[in-house]
């Protein structure tokens, strides 16, 4: 693909967009068909979508969202390079903001997991792909850099202190970081968004380790001096160390960013319209692909987001168990994942440059096939989830991040409301699968906690 051709996708979806139904769900929530079928004015469908239209639109939006993720990762890499070269407070802040910006499109792509796509499937069809290297968590931060001897929610991390890459002597390159990735198990995550996040923010240690303190509303507090090149290098505020340590920390940031860009490009290439191997197979997949779309929506909703990313952190009351635990950006992870499911149902996505990509939707298909009430029911469930997620998002932006919400009894119902919304929409997605007569796996097969 050519990175500058950000509008390339528009042409690819013109035909599918032209076939999109213009529907009005009506005041009573049952009527969902516009137009007439003839001169006699009898109610009918004047425009309609096919299952193939829905699948093609979904593939085009996937390409757009992954392309945006790649563009944002390249911008992040550039921002990190500027910071490592000139480690000022201003550049440090800019690098952190660039990291947050890079998460916005990627969070909306996670609905394309759990469906045999290039993000989590290897070339031979086996499970894997680059998803772990891109977004795995919790992070093995003690493998990367210095950590506290004890952290909230993870008493075992102290066993790894002193064995990290930054304090070592091995050349920091892609071979090293990729070779260490999950070398000794899932705890050894050394690449991806969260490795970069940790190196920018450091651990979020804002709680009395005796359990008597109150968790505060700030993220990790890594000092900019951890990257100092003027002889004032630290490993933690006031802990002066050798200049090479700061140099190695900067090297790690840049290598991790290079790996992230490389991995995302493999996914974008596979989704390239007309030329991407996965794109072509997917749009030709008919009902099989439609079933995969719905399976991805349900499995992200229930197991990954509802259970792994929300309920476990709520049950354990642990900062280490929240997705973006270093930056306190978990509220955006939750909101964006839920938004990705809604985007898929509505077949619309707003690109980072403001362009709106839209086309034939599952809603339109249900209306076309006469399931107006179910179309409106699932639409309502998705809107209810987004409303609940917006509460968490707003509270975080006004000083009460996700880890504080989970630790405060009076605020926990706000978290539970999102879980309840995700369960309800998963049930509705199961009904859509049955109504459309497509095949999908068990939507509730993932996750380590029962959230019903």
Residue 447 lies in a domain: no
Burial level of 281, CB count in 10 A (0-12/13-18/19+)?
A: middle
Per-residue confidence (pLDDT) for residue 213, from 0 to 100:
55
pTM of the model: 0.87
Per-residue confidence (pLDDT) for residue 148, from 0 to 100:
85
DSSP string of 378-413, one letter each residue: HHHHHHHHHHHHHHHHHHHHTT--HHHHHH-TTTHH
Q: The domain containing residue 233 runs over which residues?
A: 8-39+41-436
Q: How confident is the model over 93-111, as pLDDT tens digits?
A: 999 999 999 999 999 999 9
| Least confidently predicted of 95-109, 335-349, 435-449 | 435-449
| Sign for the pseudo-dihedral over CA of 252, 257, 258, 259 | positive
**Domain total of the chain:** 1
Residue 337 lies in a domain: yes
Report whether pLDDT(155) > 70: no
Residue 449 lies in a domain: no
CA distance 382 to 111: 14
Per-residue confidence (pLDDT) for residue 206, from 0 to 100:
66
Residue 250 lies in a domain: yes
Q: Which residue has the higher pLDDT, 84 or 216?
A: 84
Residue 90 lies in a domain: yes
CA distance 98 to 83: 11
∠ CA 346-351-357, rounded to 5°: 45
The mean pLDDT value of the chain amounts to 86
SS3 121: strand
Residue 445 lies in a domain: no
Residue 450 lies in a domain: no
Report whether pLDDT(344) > 90: yes
Q: What are the Cα distances from residue 31, in Å, to 22, 369, 373, 382?
A: 13, 12, 8, 19
SS3 39: coil
| Least confidently predicted of 160-174, 333-347, 353-367 | 160-174
Per-residue confidence (pLDDT) for residue 137, from 0 to 100:
86
Q: How confident is the model over 18-27, as pLDDT tens digits?
A: 333 333 333 3
Tokens representing residue 226 in the block: 């951890």
CATH of the domain at 101: 1.20.1420.20
Tokens representing residue 432 in the block: 């859509």
Per-residue confidence (pLDDT) for residue 125, from 0 to 100:
81
Per-residue confidence (pLDDT) for residue 78, from 0 to 100:
98
Residue for token pair 């319209």: 273
Residue 444 lies in a domain: no
Per-residue confidence (pLDDT) for residue 183, from 0 to 100:
76
CA distance 259 to 73: 10
Average pLDDT over every residue of 7-25? 34
Tokens representing residue 73 in the block: 């990762």
Report whether pLDDT(296) > 70: yes
End-to-end CA distance of the chain: 43
Per-residue confidence (pLDDT) for residue 207, from 0 to 100:
54
Confidence of residue 42 (pLDDT cuts 50, 70, 90): very low
Report whether pLDDT(28) > 60: no
Average pLDDT over every residue of 410-431? 96
CA distance 393 to 407: 16
Per-residue confidence (pLDDT) for residue 47, from 0 to 100:
60
């Amino acid at each position: 693909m050519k990175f500058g051709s950000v509008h390339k996708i528009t042409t690819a979806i013109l035909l599918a967009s032209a076939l999109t139904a213009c529907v009005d769900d009506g005041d009573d929530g049952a009527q969902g068909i516009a137009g007439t079928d003839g001169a006699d004015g009898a109610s009918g469908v004047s425009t309609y979508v096919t299952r193939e239209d829905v699948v093609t639109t979904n593939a085009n939006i996937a390409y757009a969202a992954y392309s945006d993720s790649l563009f944002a990762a390249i911008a992040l890499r550039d921002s990190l390079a500027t910071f490592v070269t000139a480690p000022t407070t201003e550049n440090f802040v800019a690098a952190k903001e660039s990291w947050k910006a890079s998460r916005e499109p990627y969070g909306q792509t996670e609905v394309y997991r759990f469906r045999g796509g290039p993000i989590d499937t290897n070339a031979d069809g086996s499970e894997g792909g680059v998803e772990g290297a891109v977004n795995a968590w919790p992070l093995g931060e003690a493998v990367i850099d210095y950590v506290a001897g004890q952290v909230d929610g993870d008493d075992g991390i102290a066993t790894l202190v002193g064995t990290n890459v930054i304090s070592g002597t091995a050349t920091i390159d892609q071979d090293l970081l990729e070779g260490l990735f999950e070398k000794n198990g899932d705890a050894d995550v050394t690449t991806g968004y969260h490795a970069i996040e940790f190196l920018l923010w450091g651990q979020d240690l804002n709680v009395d380790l005796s359990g008597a303190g109150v968790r505060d509303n700030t993220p990790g507090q890594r000092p900019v001096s951890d990257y100092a090149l003027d002889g004032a290098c630290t490993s933690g505020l006031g802990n002066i160390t050798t200049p090479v340590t700061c140099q190695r920390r900067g090297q790690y940031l840049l290598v991790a960013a290079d790996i992230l860009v490389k991995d995302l490009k493999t996914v974008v290439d596979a989704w390239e319209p007309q030329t991407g191997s996965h794109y072509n197979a997917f749009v030709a997949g008919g009902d099989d692909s439609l079933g995969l779309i719905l399976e991805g929506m349900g499995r992200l909703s229930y197991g990954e987001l509802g259970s792994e990313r929300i309920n476990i952190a709520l049950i354990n009351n642990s900062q280490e168990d929240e997705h973006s635990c270093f930056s306190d950006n978990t509220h955006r992870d939750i909101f964006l994942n839920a938004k990705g499911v809604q985007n898929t149902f509505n077949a619309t996505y707003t690109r980072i440059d403001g362009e709106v990509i839209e086309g034939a939707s599952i809603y339109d298909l249900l209306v076309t096939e006469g399931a107006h009430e179910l179309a409106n029911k699932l639409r309502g469930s998705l809107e209810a989830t987004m409303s609940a997620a917006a509460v968490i998002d707003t509270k975080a932006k006004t000083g009460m991040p996700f880890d504080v919400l989970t630790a405060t009894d009076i605020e926990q119902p706000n978290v539970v409301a999102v879980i309840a919304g995700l369960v309800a929409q998963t049930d509705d997605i199961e009904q859509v699968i049955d109504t459309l007569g497509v095949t999908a796996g068990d939507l509730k097969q993932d996750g380590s906690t029962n959230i019903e």
